[in-house]
Amino acid sequence: MVQEYEIIVIGGGPAGLSAGIFVARQKTSCLLISKDLGGQMNLIPKLENYPGTLMSSGPLLAKTLESQYLSFNGEIVYDTVQMIEETESGMKVKTSRSEYISKSIVLAPGKVPNNLGVENESTFSNKGVHYCTKCDAPFYQGRVTATVGVGGYLLESGILLSRMASKVYLIYKGGALGGDKEMIASIEKKENVQLVPQSSIKAISGNNTLQSIVVLDNSGKETTLQVDGLFIEMGSKINLDFVKHLVKINTKGEIEISEGNATAHPAIFAAGDATNIPYKQIVAACAGGATAGLSAFNYIERLKGKPGIRADWKKTIGDTIFHY
């Protein structure tokens, strides 16, 4: 028998968990489907820029958000969504193990950073190897770093690291840097940035943390560099194959959203890194998730002929509802 919910949230990162909290808090039946808990938050060993949180981590915040969601009787299934289809009874969500029906859907699948594919890469993840310069550059003040990537991702990484690290190796395959000319000019003026053109990373090594990388140039010459941190900025990928026939996707592969985090489909809302928001930060994802969750709730309320809500400032104690 196919299980039915009023709202299904797809994605267990900050956007999906926040959406789930604001849906389940309305005493609405809600199912959250995700491959894992936390998404890219699991790549953040130290979390410094989430308002109201000191000396936390991405995994700890994910667990906290999960606990909040479950406290409002929300449900979680760890599975992979394969397809969403429209039916007479609502939106059918097919996963690798089951099928579900809902009246509305919140999409928050997030994105996954592209990796180098080098041996030991995963071993040193968060132990010297990082995929978000904006997030982790502050931990390398006065230390030696390297960054490898493409286009604007690499340029931005190099500029951010140059402001904090004592030395930055900027590694790229081409003979010249590509991207914004002003950013390139800025990079070339940095005394602590060493350009390493026509090169790629062959190997990374260390003990408990990253200690060195082996760089291979186009002539076949290998050079070992002693570094404390390696930042990989190869862009990211967003998997939307399961829903691309129902929503509008822009040229960057992101879900187009409008006011209230609405998509092109009236029953589908979206939030987080998989959408066209300009700032891919946890706090922005949480805000978008809350908005998308409330919009989904209001959508099903309107189906029932009810007006919906504009705020969630209330507390029920016994038979009394206190608004604040």
3-state secondary structure the chain: CCEEEEEEEECCCHHHHHHHHHHHCCCCCEEEEECCCCHHHHHCCCECCCCCCCCECHHHHHHHHHHHHHHCCCEEEECCEEEEEEECCEEEEEECCCEEEEEEEEECCCCEECCCCCCCCCCCECCCEECCHHHHHHHHCCCEEEEEECHHHHHHHHHHHHCCCCEEEEECCCCCCCCCHHHHHHHHHCCCEEEECCEEEEEEEECCCEEEEEEEECCCCEEEEECCEEEEECCEECCCCCCCCCCCECCCCCECCEHHHECCCCCEEECCCCECCCCCCHHHHHHHHHHHHHHHHHHHHHHCCCCCCCCCCEEEECCEEEEC
pLDDT bracket for residue 55 (50, 70, 90) = confident
How many distinct structural domains can be found in the chain?
A: 2
Q: Which has the minimum average pLDDT: 77-81, 104-108, 250-254, 309-313?
A: 309-313
134 lies in a domain? yes
Residue numbers of the domain that contains 213: 129-233
pLDDT(321) > 70? no
pLDDT in tens, 11-36: 999 999 999 999 999 999 999 999 99
Q: Which of 147, 155, 150, 164 lies closest to 183 in space, CA to CA?
A: 155
Write down the pLDDT at residue 160. Answer: 95
Alpha-carbon distance values, 66 to 8, 59, 284, 286, 321 (Å): 15, 10, 18, 13, 25
Question: The pTM is what?
Answer: 0.74
Q: Is residue 188 domain-resident?
A: yes
Evaluate if residue 276 carries a pLDDT over 60: yes
Higher pLDDT, 208 or 317: 208
How confident is residue 318, by pLDDT bands cut at 50, 70 and 90? confident
Based on the fold, state whether residues 256 and 202 are members of the same structural domain. no
CATH code (residue 142): 3.50.50.60
Asked whether residue 13 is domain-assigned, the answer is yes
Assess whether pLDDT exceeds 70 at residue 45. Answer: yes
Residues 185 and 263 in one domain: no
Same domain, 172 and 227: yes
Establish if 122 belongs to a structural domain: no
Give the residue from 222, 208, 224, 225 showing the smallest Cα distance to 120: 208
119 occurs within a structural domain: no
Q: Does 214 share its domain with 249? A: no
* 153 and 82 together in one domain: no
Same-domain status, 144 and 74: no
Mean pLDDT for all residues in the chain: 93
105-156 confidence digits (pLDDT tens): 999 999 888 899 999 998 998 899 998 898 789 999 999 999 999 988 899 9
| pLDDT recorded at residue 323 | 52
Residue 285 covered by a domain: yes
**Residue 123 belongs to a domain:** no
Among 211, 233, 255, which residue terminates a domain? 233
Domain boundary among 192, 208, 233: 233
Six-digit token string for 70:
């479950």
Same domain, 162 and 255: no
Residue 317: predicted pLDDT: 73
Q: Is 169 within 8 Å of 140 (Cβ atoms)? A: no
Placement of tokens 């009874």 in the chain: 89
| 22 and 162 belong to one structural domain | no
* pLDDT on residue 3: 95
pLDDT of residue 44: 80
Asked whether residue 69 falls in the same domain as residue 158, the answer is: no
Task: Give the model's pLDDT for residue 324.
Answer: 46
Map tokens 């690290």 to a residue.
Answer: 165
Q: Is residue 50 domain-shared with residue 75, that is, in the same domain?
A: yes
pLDDT score for 216:
97
Quick: pLDDT tens for 212-238. 999 999 999 999 999 999 999 998 889
Q: What is the mean pLDDT of residues 191-197?
A: 97
Judgement on whether residues 151 and 247 belong to the same structural domain of the protein: no
- 174, 209, 233 — which closes off a domain? 233
Residue 124 in any domain: the answer is: no
Same domain, 67 and 135: no
pLDDT value of position 322: 64
